[in-house]
């Protein structure tokens, strides 16, 4: 018996020696594998969308730092700030002693990631080029924050709400839409932009959907020559802002454009579509109500 017990002890010690040093492994949206000694308990987010998702998953107890642009939900503003998305303070990030920093290949400078890697802080990349990417990001953030069980219900709720919008506009003719992401230089959603997908779900067809890339530039003359039935100016400053009002006035001077003649020019705060996360259905319904107001006349 004593020999058997000693053998078990020796085997246990050997297993402990060969046991993998990494207890947590995950693959980010660039296909990179990160391995940590334990699940991350101190996360810094340089991605406002990721911050919003983590709060919605109720995993914000692991979030120790955010950017100045992480302003939703309001509670996110109370987290320690590390600067902007494209110019974060590396010293502030390091001072927070994070296990992991969330970055995006759609805005985080590559040198930020390289510097963090040099000081031993791993990064985890996310993006939202398509709706399927948004759902993947929610699942990944659920795993990173120990809130996997909350991810699928969130995705199911978002899907159901978006399906209701799609069903509401299904019976109406597809409307052509010029969506202006930024006025000067004129930036529009291209074939790889998630906004192009949202316009389709809302019963429209983006007149710039054939342009390469996610958010290409084009001239004003080329844009209006595509004869959109609806023109939407995204107003990042908030609906009804002074900047939005000024942009409307400038576009209203184009009196030869049919959409403007028909009064189908709008300035809207659609940040819920550009910041992928659980509020996408709200933004999609706002977009659909502009493209097909007749579908929501009785609601």
Q: Rounded to an integer, what distance in angstroms lies between the CA atom of residue 134 and that of residue 211? A: 22
Q: What is the pLDDT of residue 31?
A: 95
Q: What angle do CA 69, 72, 76 make, to 5 degrees?
A: 80
Q: What percent of the chain has pLDDT over 70?
A: 89
Indicate the angle between helix axes 194-201 and 148-169, nearest 10 degrees.
50
Instruction: Return the CATH architecture of domain 170-296.
Output: 3-Layer(aba) Sandwich (3.40)
pLDDT tens per residue, range 82-127: 999 989 999 999 999 999 999 999 889 989 989 999 999 999 999 9
40 close to 62: Cβ distance less than 8 angstroms = yes
Pick the more confident residue, 148 or 298: 148
pLDDT band for position 253 (cuts 50, 70, 90): confident
Q: What is the pLDDT of residue 242?
A: 67
The strand ranges marked E within 228-270 are 230-234, 265-268
Q: Which DSSP symbol is given to 80?
A: P
Instruction: Evaluate if residue 14 carries a pLDDT over 70.
Output: no
pLDDT tens per residue, range 130-139: 999 999 999 9
Q: Rounded to an integer, what distance in angstroms lies between the CA atom of residue 260 and that of residue 240? A: 18
208 close to 223: Cβ distance less than 8 angstroms = yes
**Mean pLDDT, the chain, integer:** 89
Q: Rounded to an integer, what distance in angstroms lies between the CA atom of residue 247 and that of residue 139? A: 38
pLDDT tens per residue, range 47-62: 999 999 999 999 999 9
Q: Give me the residue spans of the domains in the chain.
A: 16-146, 170-296
CATH 1.10.8.80 fits 16-146, yes or no: no
137 close to 276: Cβ distance less than 8 angstroms = yes
Q: Which DSSP symbol is given to 98?
A: -
68 close to 47: Cβ distance less than 8 angstroms = no
């Amino acid at each position: 018996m004593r020999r058997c017990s000693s053998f078990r002890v020796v085997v246990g010690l050997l297993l402990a020696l060969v046991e993998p040093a990494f207890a947590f492994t995950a693959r980010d949206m660039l296909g990179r594998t990160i391995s940590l000694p334990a699940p991350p308990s101190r996360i810094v987010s340089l991605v406002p969308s990721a911050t919003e998702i983590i709060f919605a998953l109720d995993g914000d107890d692991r979030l120790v730092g955010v950017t100045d642009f992480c302003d939703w939900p309001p509670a996110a503003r109370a987290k320690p700030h590390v600067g902007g998305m494209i110019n974060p303070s590396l010293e502030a990030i390091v001072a927070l002693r994070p296990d992991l920093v969330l970055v995006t290949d759609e805005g985080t400078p590559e040198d930020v990631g390289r510097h963090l890697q040099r000081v031993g802080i791993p990064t985890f990349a996310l993006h939202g080029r398509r709706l399927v990417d948004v759902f993947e990001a929610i699942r990944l953030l659920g795993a990173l924050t120990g809130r996997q069980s909350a991810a699928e219900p969130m995705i199911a709720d978002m899907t159901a709400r978006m399906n209701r919008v799609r069903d509401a506009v299904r019976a109406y003719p597809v409307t052509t839409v010029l969506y202006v992401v930024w006025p000067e230089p004129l930036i529009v959603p291209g074939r790889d932009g998630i906004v192009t997908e949202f316009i389709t779900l809302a019963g429209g067809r983006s007149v710039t959907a054939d342009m390469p890339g996610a958010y290409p530039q084009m001239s004003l003359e080329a844009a209006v020559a595509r004869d959109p039935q609806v023109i939407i100016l995204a107003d990042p400053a908030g609906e009804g802002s002074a900047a939005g009002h000024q942009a409307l006035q400038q576009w209203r001077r184009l009196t030869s454009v049919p959409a403007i003649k028909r009064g189908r020019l709008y300035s809207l705060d659609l940040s819920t579509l550009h910041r992928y996360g659980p509020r996408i259905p709200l933004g999609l319904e706002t977009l659909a109500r502009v493209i097909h107001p007749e579908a929501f006349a009785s609601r």
